[in-house]
Amino acid sequence: MNNEKTIPYKIYLEENEMPKQWYNVRADMKNKPAPLLNPATHQPCTLEELSHVFCTELAKQELDDTTAYIDIPQEILDFYKMYRPSPLVRAYCLEKALGTPAKIYYKFEGNNTSGSHKLNSAIAQAYYAKNQGLKGVTTETGAGQWGTALSMACAYLGLDCQVYMVKVSYEQKPFRREVMRTYGANVTPSPSMTTNVGRKINAEFPGTNGSLGCAISEAVEAATTQEGYRYVLGSVLSQVLLHQSVIGLESKIAMDKYGIKPDMIIGCAGGGSNLGGLISPFMGEKLRGEADYRFIAVEPASCPSLTRGTYGYDFCDTGAVCPLAKMYTLGSTFMPSPNHAGGLRYHGMSSVLSQLYADGLMEARSVEQTSVFAAAEQFARTEGILPAPESSHAIKVAIDEALKCKETGEEKTILFGLTGTGYFDMYAYEAFNDGKMSDYIPTDEEIAKSVAKMPKVD
């Protein structure tokens, strides 16, 4: 079965082969991620405290670091079947163009209207909100994929959806905004003047383009000041990585069917949802000593939390209203440049991925956006899919690794996550094609200034 000629361009699973449970990688981690802390007391957050912000069932998932497998409710499985299983693709055309002996695979998560992997967690979080009898949910969105996914899930379940969209993305990606509105969401550019924290941020940073940290603060305030609402988050949190594990589980089932074992697994990293979801079952094998893999997180050079950040407790949001998380961070007041990979413009990294990186179980690289878009166009011209700027960070490093194999003659197997499509990112492609795209890399002084404001936790 492992003869190369038997491997199709696209490996599709049958619906009955879809995972019926999510995998919680924390259960197999020897060093568990540090707990979320109450910002007032610096004590671990309790279920009761988290339930004021999140749906109760999601708060339970957030705190559970011992249960390895959690059943996926049938209603979520039924929704998944509208666009899952998603294909695992052998990039034969890209391999040929590169002239590499490497075997390249990608898990394509853009085959739904939201255009990304975000729908995997959006429907789960909306489902638990509905089950709790809530009126609606609030959230933030960067590039707009998460907001689009959540608006779809809320429309399906009849929930109100309020989205705070990072201002620069709100302006750069008007069509993403309109998809959200088509699905019934109320979309507000952030920071806005509709919340106390938004007004405070605007006063402190006049004319700011916003950040995910700002939008999170506004969404949390909106949730906690309206009866019958809770806040939901599209990345960073452990519960989100849990839901996204369906990506890696499907990838592993598909590869196992053909006797394929990846040597390295590559994903773009902003908050960590897609990377964490893709690597989870493979990382579980590594943690249990059953197999070994290289894991590579790829982040923008303009927002390099893993490669240049500090590992410590920090606020998850700019307004300092969320719990403290121990993570690699640039500081919650860090304002990233308005690069085109809006979904990666976050100051911190998932506590799960941060712990794995701190333990030396994962590598990280930062790449500049002009090189990312060059890789994106090369991929589009060979594989026929226009990739999202976020996904293209993984493409860039996958190509780099494949070219190394060309030099050494090694036939390594590469798996990367193609998290979504870039059809709403044409202003970015226009800037690249017109030669107007620039690379901004923050100075050590800029990062140090923000890191200096991190809370002091004993």
Q: Render 373-427 in DSSP notation, one character per residue.
A: HHHHHHHHHHHS--B-HHHHHHHHHHHHHHHHHHHH----EEEEEE-BB-TT-HH
pLDDT value at residue 5: 52
Q: Report the alpha-carbon distance of residue 306 to residue 281 in Å, rounded.
A: 22
pLDDT value at residue 212: 80
Do the Cβ atoms of 195 and 221 come closer than 8 Å?
Answer: yes
Query: How long a stretch of residues is the chain?
Result: 458
Question: Can you tell me whether residue 163 is helix, strand or coil?
Answer: strand
Structure tokens, 457 = 């936790």
pLDDT value at residue 213: 81
Do the Cβ atoms of 113 and 148 come closer than 8 Å?
Answer: yes
Do the Cβ atoms of 304 and 19 come closer than 8 Å?
Answer: no
Residue labelled with tokens 């707990």: 35
pLDDT value at residue 339: 61
pLDDT value at residue 2: 46
- Angle value at C-alpha 273, between 290 and 328, nearest 5 degrees: 90
pLDDT value at residue 458: 78
- Angle value at C-alpha 242, between 237 and 248, nearest 5 degrees: 125
Q: Which helix (H) or strand (E) holds 201?
A: helix 196-204
Do the Cβ atoms of 134 and 228 come closer than 8 Å?
Answer: yes
Which of 294, 315, 326 minimizes the C-alpha distance to 404?
Answer: 294
pLDDT value at residue 4: 53
pLDDT value at residue 35: 97
HSE-CB at 300 with a 13 A cutoff on CA atoms is 31
From first to last of its 458 residues, the chain has per-residue pLDDT tens of 444 558 999 999 999 999 999 999 999 999 999 999 999 999 999 999 999 999 999 999 999 999 999 999 999 999 999 999 999 999 999 999 999 999 999 999 999 988 999 999 999 999 999 999 999 999 999 878 899 999 999 999 999 999 999 998 898 888 889 999 999 999 999 999 999 999 999 999 999 988 888 898 899 999 999 999 999 999 999 999 999 999 999 999 999 999 999 999 999 999 999 999 999 999 999 999 999 999 999 999 999 999 999 999 999 887 777 899 999 999 998 877 766 655 677 899 999 999 999 999 999 999 999 999 999 999 999 999 999 999 999 999 999 999 999 999 999 999 999 999 999 889 889 999 999 999 989 999 999 999 999 999 97
- For residue 285, report the phi and psi dihedrals to the nearest 5 degrees: -60, -40
pLDDT value at residue 256: 97
Question: Can you tell me whether residue 165 is helix, strand or coil?
Answer: strand
Which of 399, 401, 337 minimizes the C-alpha distance to 369?
Answer: 337
Question: Can you tell me whether residue 414 is helix, strand or coil?
Answer: strand
pLDDT value at residue 427: 87
Alpha-carbon torsion, ordered 256, 257, 260, 262, to 10 deg? -40
Q: Which helix (H) or strand (E) holds 356?
A: helix 351-358
